[in-house]
Structure 1
Amino acid sequence: MVTITTENIMQLYNATVTQEFTISPAGFHNNSSVNQTNGFKCINPDTVKWLETFQPGFLWIIFILGTIENAFVLIVLCFHKSRCSVAEIYLANMAFADLMFVSSLPFWAINISNGFEWPFGLFLCKAVNTTSYMNFYSSIYFLTLVSIDRYLALVKTMSLGRMRRTTCAKWNSFIIWMCALFICLPTMIFRNLQYFKEFNITACSLDYPTPYWHPANNCLLNTVGFLIPLCVITYCTTQIIKALRSNNLQKLKLIQTERKATLLVLAVLLLFVICWLPFQISTLIDTICYIAQNLECLEEINDIVTQIAIYCAFSNSCLNPVLYVIVGKHFQKKAVEFYKELIPERCRKSQSVKTENSLDTLRTSISSEYLRKKSVLPLSQ
């Protein structure tokens, strides 16, 4: 089997993240002796080789951490005795989206290690990519709904209370999932198993009917997938910060509770922007390179930058649960209460009896010592 270097990176970029490339045999950059002269002009081939080697291990790490952490968040939020708030419903859906996403990463880790020979069949080729693609759109719009909920809680506290009902939140979540699935339809349709004779592999790749799908998909990512929700989030966030600084609101006890929840939301929003902004910038550069078609050096450099941006974006799926534990005081309380309930009642009673007996012994010892001293003192007088 012929070794693939740059295309490994491009194919991984295609498969596991949202940006999708039209793959054709002519697009492959081969590092073998067959095509050694057509190597890289502007980047060090060792960098590409290092990224190719690094990818499977990184994907496995993200899969393990993301699965454990997001499963923990879902268990606490879904099985706690108290009902989830509106913001928690959205955050639970986001954790579920991240869990779906990290569950798809082992397929691509194995695929990369296998030289991009896809061994899992056509159904999983479509399903794994659709799952990966849905994660990005659903996550950003669940965050948008969370920021809108915080805006309604702190800024429009009286006028739009009906929109903060849990029933409404569940319907909103359903609509987000359906819209994300609709946007993923091109991925479901055009992802196919394609045989590349030059490299003797059958790869899971995109087969767009026309080349214009590629820049159109990039524009969809930049606008619908980032720019529009970012504008909504920015507006809500600025209004929330103003409300939190208001002296009138700070006096209300209810607002103090909402403020704690809002700090967690703002931290999650900031983390998402930091993790995904580099990827959005690289997507925009890719569109420029596609339109210009004479920026070979920029295209090669952007391929490397894109991989680093992808690692940053992937990390978001396992960093959110860490934020819930560190910043989310209400989540911490729920987690402690939930796992206390898992401890058998007999163990808790036994522990409480031991504690009570220890206290009784301590009290008896102190009382005896006090009486002994009291009886000795008169004699000394």
Structure 2
Amino acid sequence: KTKEWSFTVLPVYILLVAVLGIVFNAFVLMVFCLHQKACTVAEIYLSNLAAADLLLTAFLPVWAVNASRKFNWPFSDSVCRLASLSINMNTYCSVYFLVLVSLDRYVALVHPLSHGRIRSPKYAKLGCVMVWGLGLLLSTPMLIYREVNYFSCVNITVCYVNYPNITVELLFDGVLTVFGFIIPISIISFCTVKIVHALNNRPTEGLNGQKSEHKATILVLAVLVAFLVCWVPFHLIRIVEMLLTAEVLTDCSLIAIQHECKQIFTYFAYFNSVFNPILYVIVGENFRKKVKELFKQRRNGVKISMTSTRSDLSRSVKTEHFSS
């Protein structure tokens, strides 16, 4: 049975995450895209992470409306599929952008000389395209099996995943767990251990390039920790759900606990899309510098525009005076 808080507190929380996520991530993308200097490899990955978070938060108001209507789906079948697709794509793309970020930091700090060519914007952009493609491919079950159906017995219309059988359900849930959690988290964990070890054995003083790498790595580590805190509970409860579906676990009380925890952990994971931009501002010294430079750049552009306008007006007045 769904708790009352799901109809009252949950819609407000989802809407808050949506508004903050859209504003914050749009701001991050604006800074990275409009700044005069080209993005570094790490910034290319982080800007794509912001784009994935923006994709998720853009569809969250749909789920807020659904929750406020006691999960009686008010939208079309297409919106049901697209809103579900945005969640799954964020789940896959976010973690693999962090894999790319982790690998970049690993190469930069652990093997700075041997694999320097790999750390180029060209390969970074290619890697991002591949991640978006992988996220879309792994999320296709949401386009195939998500549907809207009316259940007359309870008088409610539901947007849900209608798998043809338990085998298919376990297969796709297993794919999400393996490719969306176990493999990427293993890579991230390995890289993080090596990165921390490299940081401990490196002096923070020295060349400007080393200082810049150190600052970028601290931001990346903060983003990684935030991701793990927000998303690991979601994936763990998904594993429990798989075991219940496969009837490996059969405790009825566990089913009720799993249902409640799944809702809580799912929507807690979405807060990661708000948390990342906040970390860029709090921890990302280079990002704050870019923000200041961007506003200075915009301010100077306005001043130049105003000056040129005044000059044009002055010339126009002089022309009119001489002609008269």
Contact between 1:192 and 1:206, CA under 8 Å: does it hold in 2?
yes
Q: Distance in 2 between matches of 1:65 and 1:248?
A: 38
Q: Distance in 2 between matches of 1:225 and 1:345?
A: 44
In the other structure, the counterpart of 1:55 is 10
Spell out, residue by residue over 1:2-33, the C-alpha distance to the aligned partner (whole angstroms, 9 max, x if none). xxx52xxxxxxxxxxxxxxxxxxxxxxxxxxx
Question: Could you tell me which of 103, 107, 120 is aligned with 2:58?
Answer: 103
Contact between 1:244 and 1:250, CA under 8 Å: does it hold in 2?
no
Question: Could you tell me which of 113, 119, 127 is aligned with 1:172?
Answer: 127
Change (3 A) 1:182 1:345: closer
Please give the secondary structure, in 2, of the residue aligned with 1:343.
Answer: helix
Contact between 1:118 and 1:204, CA under 8 Å: does it hold in 2?
yes
Question: Could you tell me which of 323, 339, 346 is aligned with 2:279?
Answer: 323
Spell out, residue by residue over 1:282-330, the C-alpha distance to the aligned partner (whole angstroms, 9 max, x if none). 1111122222263110010111122221232111010000000000000
**Matches of residues 32-111 of structure 1 in structure 2 within 5 Å?**
48-111=3-66
Spell out, residue by residue over 1:115-173, the C-alpha distance to the aligned partner (whole angstroms, 9 max, x if none). 33323212211111111110010000000000100111111111111111101111100
Compute the displacement of 1:112 (Å): 2.0
Please give the secondary structure, in 2, of the residue aligned with 1:294.
Answer: coil
In the other structure, the counterpart of 1:302 is 258
Q: Distance in 2 between matches of 1:205 and 1:345?
A: 50
The normalised TM-score by structure 1 is 0.76
Q: Distance in 2 between matches of 1:247 and 1:264?
A: 17
Match for 1:136: what amino acid? T
Question: Could you tell me which of 286, 289, 294 is aligned with 1:333?
Answer: 289
Compute the displacement of 1:242 (Å): 1.8
Task: Extract unaligned runs of 5+ from structure 1.
Answer: 7-47, 351-381
Contact between 2:6 and 2:67, CA under 8 Å: does it hold in 1?
no
In the other structure, the counterpart of 1:238 is 193
Deviates more, 1:72-81 or 1:245-254: 245-254
Question: Could you tell me which of 159, 179, 204 is aligned with 1:224?
Answer: 179
Contact between 1:154 and 1:255, CA under 8 Å: does it hold in 2?
no
Q: Distance in 2 between matches of 1:233 and 1:77?
A: 24
Spell out, residue by residue over 1:51-93, the C-alpha distance to the aligned partner (whole angstroms, 9 max, x if none). 3321111110001110110011000001100000011001000
Spell out, residue by residue over 1:78-110, the C-alpha distance to the aligned partner (whole angstroms, 9 max, x if none). 110000001100100000000010111111111
Please give the secondary structure, in 1, of the residue aligned with 2:279.
Answer: helix
Taking only the aligned residue pairs, the percentage that are identical comes to 39
Compute the displacement of 1:345 (Å): 5.1
Q: Distance in 2 between matches of 1:168 and 1:306?
A: 37
Change (3 A) 1:249 1:109: closer
Compute the displacement of 1:250 (Å): 5.7
In the other structure, the counterpart of 1:286 is 241
Spell out, residue by residue over 1:184-210, the C-alpha distance to the aligned partner (whole angstroms, 9 max, x if none). 111101111212111223322211111
Q: Distance in 2 between matches of 1:126 and 1:238?
A: 38
CA RMSD in angstroms, aligned pairs only: 1.9
- Are 1:143 and 2:104 an aligned pair? no
Compute the displacement of 1:247 (Å): 4.4
Task: Extract unaligned runs of 5+ from structure 2.
Answer: 307-324
Contact between 2:7 and 2:68, CA under 8 Å: does it hold in 1?
no
**Matches of residues 121-140 of structure 1 in structure 2 within 5 Å?**
121-140=76-95
In the other structure, the counterpart of 1:354 is none
Q: Distance in 2 between matches of 1:52 and 1:214?
A: 27
Deviates more, 1:146-155 or 1:200-209: 200-209
Please give the secondary structure, in 2, of the residue aligned with 1:212.
Answer: helix
Q: Distance in 2 between matches of 1:212 and 1:236?
A: 34
Contact between 1:282 and 1:305, CA under 8 Å: does it hold in 2?
yes
Name segments (4+ residues, structure 1) moved above 4 Å: 247-252, 344-350
Please give the secondary structure, in 2, of the residue aligned with 1:193.
Answer: strand
Q: Distance in 2 between matches of 1:250 and 1:235?
A: 26
Higher alpha-carbon Rg:
1
Compute the displacement of 1:346 (Å): 6.4
Contact between 1:90 and 1:142, CA under 8 Å: does it hold in 2?
yes
Question: Could you tell me which of 139, 160, 170 is aligned with 1:205?
Answer: 160
Change (3 A) 1:118 1:150: same
In the other structure, the counterpart of 2:221 is 266
Question: Could you tell me which of 311, 317, 338 is aligned with 2:267?
Answer: 311
